[in-house]
Amino acid sequence: MPKTSPVEDRLRTCISNHPDWTVERIAASIVGSTRAMVRAMQAGEPVAPIIEEAKKAEVGTISLAQVRARYDIAAAIKRELAKLKPGALILEAEMRQRAAGRDANRFRRTVDNTEEFKVNRIKLQLDPDGGEAAWYWGDVSTISAAIKVRDSV
């Protein structure tokens, strides 16, 4: 008899004890399982083997991609700008949250030290009662059109 993983054993037990549960609920209740594993087990097909040794080797390590995702704020800003629809502006506070999370200082240093972002920012005072002006971000064409509108008044 082929050796099964602990995840397979727990899946088999869960499926037999709870035949009315959905695939999503079963997969969520067993750590290390996936929906594909649950569907395969329910269909009586072999479940893709989990390589325990590979998982053990990865414990305590991180990839370079994870480091970049956390610390490369310029790349994160570029990704967020690419997601914006043409004609849309986003408050700088929202851009900071999306690109840098809670690391406001790293965001500010990146913006201040990267010349290419100057064409993606505009300071607008949208409150008619004279409220404080705020910085907005957008694509180059949207920002240039907003500058024309702002300066024509």
Q: What was the pLDDT predicted at 127?
A: 82
- C-alpha 116/C-alpha 82 separation (Å) is 14
- C-alpha 63/C-alpha 93 separation (Å) is 29
Write down the architecture of domain 66-152 according to CATH. Orthogonal Bundle (1.10)
Gyration radius of the chain over CA positions: 25
Closest alpha carbon to 96 in 114, 124, 125, 76: 76
Mean pLDDT confidence for 127-146: 90
Mean pLDDT confidence for 111-126: 93
Q: Buried b vs exposed e over 82-120: b needs ≥16 C-beta within 10 Å?
A: eebeeeebbebeebbebbbeeeeebbeebbeeeeebeeb
Estimate the crossing angle of helix 6-17 against helix 35-43, to 10 degrees.
70
* Residue 91 tokens, joined: 């408050």
* pLDDT tens, position by position, 19-60: 899 989 988 888 888 888 888 888 888 776 554 444 554 667
**Domain map of the chain by residue range?**
6-58, 66-152
pLDDT reading at 146 higher than 90 = yes
Give this prediction's pTM: 0.57
Q: What was the pLDDT predicted at 140?
A: 93
